[in-house]
Amino acid sequence: MEINLISDTVTKPTPGMLAAMMKAPVGDDVFKNDPSVNALEERVADFFGMESALYFPSGTMTNQTAIKLHTQPGDQLICDKYAHVYNYEGGGVSFNSSVSCKLVDGHRGMMTASQVEASINPPDFYHSPLTSLVCIENTTNKGGGACWEFTELEKIKEVCATNGLKYHLDGARLWNALVKKEEDAKKYGALFDSISVCLSKGLGCPVGSVLVGNKTLIDSALRIRKVLGGGMRQSGFLAAAGIYALDNHIGRLKEDHQKADEIGQVLAQQPYTKKVEPVETNIIIFELDESQISEKDFLDRLAKKQISIIGMGQGKLRMVTHLDYTDEMHAVLLKTLQEIS
Ligand SMILES: *Cc1c(COP(=O)(O)O)cnc(C)c1O
């Protein structure tokens, strides 16, 4: 039995999802004639109470499109030093939009409103890049699946409004935050200029992300998606997986969170564990006490039980729970973690 905890993107479509995909009505989405894609876009827009949505092949492309639309070349965006848009999108902010990032030294990938405010360049000081956008991430990936306090997000919105800045939410795992905090998605829709959500992570789809915003923004996003090569044809087969996931896979994220919490607790009890970051959703980030076991030996011990996890550099290791991580696998993992001691 292979136990893959490298990411929540390793899932394969469930039989129910595959059946929904097989019977999807499709058309050519580049002509906006795919009924399944259109239905998914309407569904996600409604979910957030926003005007419009556009289906994309990846979350990198939704984020990059939003950044392109909210900025002009030479501008600067503000984000946390852990941000996906800065660390993991191949330098896309400079490649696609010719903008730079002002990095904020936040806590677990989250900044405060006063940190954001202090990072804004004075708009009349023409020597500095013009600040035009704030990007935040919920849940934070490199921050270990941490969820924001909504009140802080509101305070940042005020800073954006006062200073004429756009406000983008990288919500690749926003579903996890909504479930964990029992929040209404429409609160997020009312706060942000754009939201990117991934269907290919916790929700278990093979492909797909959606960008949500007002009609003007999403109309313009269509052109950027085209430029980036993200126009797809009979993508309704994939969009149908998204609709199925929205119907069936949101509530169950609780189970992923529960299992992650248990893994965190077991790890915290082991003598070889130096530190476990607080587990809030489905990501566990921890460090080993190298005087007890080296990273290589630890990973080898797991590999012997066909368990894969991932290193994040700087001595940090990561596990992510997901739809294909079963109760049976969970039992084997917990037992293995205890036996390594
Ligand atoms: C995974 C992820 C994305 C998008 O990644 P793709 O692999 O391009 O879909 C964006 N932001 C965060 C925080 C992510 O974890």
- DSSP state string for 162-227: HHT-EEEEEETTHHHHHHHHT--HHHHHHH-SEEEEESSSTT--SS-EEEEE-HHHHHHHHHHHHH
State residue 139's pLDDT score. Answer: 98
Closest protein CA for atom 3 of ligand 1: 59
Closest protein CA for atom 6 of ligand 1: 59
- pLDDT by residue (tens digit) across 57-72? 999 999 999 999 999 9
Alpha carbon of 272 to ligand 1 centroid (Å): 31
Partnered with residue 22 across adjacent β-strands are none
Label residue 109 exposed, middle or buried (CB < 10 Å: 0-12, 13-18, 19+).
Answer: buried
Alpha carbon of 4 to ligand 1 centroid (Å): 18
3-state secondary structure 64-86: HHHHHHHCCCCCEEEEECCCHHH
Backbone angles phi, psi at 78, to 5 degrees: -110, 130
Q: Ligand 1: residues within 6 Å at CB?
A: 58-60, 63, 84, 137, 141, 170, 172, 198, 200, 209
Amino acid identity for residue 24 in this structure: A
State residue 251's pLDDT score. Answer: 97
Cα–Cα distance, 214 to 326 (Å, whole number): 39
The full length of the chain comes to 341
State residue 165's pLDDT score. Answer: 98
Cα–Cα distance, 117 to 125 (Å, whole number): 16
- Do 13 and 21 form a contact (C-beta atoms < 8 A)? yes
Alpha carbon of 123 to ligand 1 centroid (Å): 31
State residue 228's pLDDT score. Answer: 98
Residue to probe by mutation, ligand 1, list 108, 135, 198, most atoms within 8 Å of CB = 198
Full pLDDT tens readout for the chain, 341 residues: 999 999 999 999 999 999 999 999 999 999 999 999 999 999 999 999 999 999 999 999 999 999 999 999 999 999 999 999 999 999 999 999 999 999 999 999 999 999 999 999 999 999 999 999 999 999 999 999 999 999 999 999 999 999 999 999 999 999 999 999 999 999 999 999 999 999 999 999 999 999 999 999 999 999 999 999 999 999 999 999 999 999 999 999 999 999 999 999 999 999 999 999 999 999 999 999 999 999 999 999 999 999 999 999 889 999 999 999 999 999 999 999 999 98
Label residue 82 exposed, middle or buried (CB < 10 Å: 0-12, 13-18, 19+).
Answer: buried
